A and B are shown apart, each in its own frame.
Chain A
Amino acid sequence: DGGITQSPKYLFRKEGQNVTLSCEQNLNHDAMYWYRQDPGQGLRLIYYSQIVNDFQKGDIAEGYSVSREKKESFPLTVTSAQKNPTAFYLCASSIPGNTIYFGEGSWLTVV
């Protein structure tokens, strides 16, 4: 089935550690996105990529990094510079300017 796969579903991070969230899509979409959601809040854009080897910062990019080496993959690294990383992270993809589809999300907790 076509779709967006995020892994892991749950992840625990120790203080000072970098962690990477995986996002893979087989929809042949050019654009991919990462959003962060805090409890009871809306979605905030972290990074987005319109094509391979290119990406732009969203509204809250500080403390995060991404890469886009393959069309299907858009991993997000939460670095130690992100002071409050506990949140629900959502990956999405679309044909640019068209309907956006989301993965099931990943929960990150700092312990």
Chain B
Amino acid sequence: DAKTTQPPSMDCAEGRAANLPCNHSTISGNEYVYWYRQIHSQGPQYIIHGLKNNETNEMASLIITEDRKSSTLILPHATLRDTAVYYCIAVLPTSGTYKYIFGTGTRLKVLA
């Protein structure tokens, strides 16, 4: 699985868009980019995932560069409840030996 790199922390003003970057320069053609977030002392929550195309759901948007070496998670109107650690991981969907590898993520703090 490809290694991902994220900034350790970011701040965002409430109501503004939060843009969280992720570098995955070694990603292979079949690896998906997944995003999760973890609020303190809870299990990580799935947000969104994508392969090549940009994706949007009710929680966020995912922008993947054309070369797929990086991506950005966008929370369009950040609220205080979005304060959490956000993880970007690369996932190869095979049926064999398979595991998700989580790094230390980005700690997003939404400021009132």
Chain B binder among A66-74, A75-83, A93-101: A93-101
Residue in A44, A45, A96 whose beta carbon sits within 8 Å of that of B94 in the complex:
A96
Number of A-B contacts (CB under 8 A): 60
Given contacts A35-B102, A42-B102, A45-B99, are A102 and B44 in contact (CB under 8 A)?
yes
**Residue interface mask B65-105, A partner, CB < 8 A = 1:** 00000000000000000000001000111111111111111
Residue total for B at the interface (Cβ-Cβ under 8 A): 24
Q: Which residues of chain B have C-beta atoms less than 8 A from A104's C-beta?
A: 42-43
| Chain A min CB distance to B24 (Å) | 15
**Does more than half of chain B's interface fall in helix, strand or loop, or is it mixed?**
loop
* Nearest CB in chain A: distance from B43 CB, A: 3
Are A31 and B98 interface neighbours, CB within 8 A? yes
Contacts known (A96-B98, A98-B93, A99-B34); A42 close to B103, Cβ less than 8 A:
yes
Instruction: Determine whether the beta carbon of B44 is less than 8 Å from that of A90.
Output: yes
Whether B43 and A105, one on each chain, are in contact in the complex, defined by CB atoms closer than 8 angstroms, is: yes
Cross-chain contact B99 with A105 (CB below 8 angstroms): no
Instruction: Tell which of B43, B45, B49, B95 has the most Cβ of chain A within 10 Å.
Output: B43
Contacts of B44 in A (CB 8 A): 43, 90, 102
A56 within 8 A of B: yes
Q: Would you call A50 an interface residue if the criterion is a C-beta within 8 Å of the partner chain's C-beta atoms?
A: yes
What is the CA–CA distance of A4 and B46 in the complex, to the nearest angstrom? 14
Residue of A nearest to B85 (CB): A42
Chain A residues near B (Cβ < 8 Å): 4, 31, 33, 35, 40-45, 48, 50, 56, 58, 88, 90, 92, 96-105, 107
Can you list 28 contacts pairing A with B, beta carbon distance less than 8 Å?
A: A4-B43, A31-B98, A33-B100, A42-B102, A42-B103, A42-B104, A42-B105, A43-B87, A44-B102, A45-B99, A45-B100, A48-B99, A50-B95, A58-B99, A90-B43, A90-B44, A96-B94, A96-B95, A97-B92, A99-B34, A100-B34, A100-B46, A100-B100, A102-B43, A102-B44, A102-B45, A104-B42, A105-B43
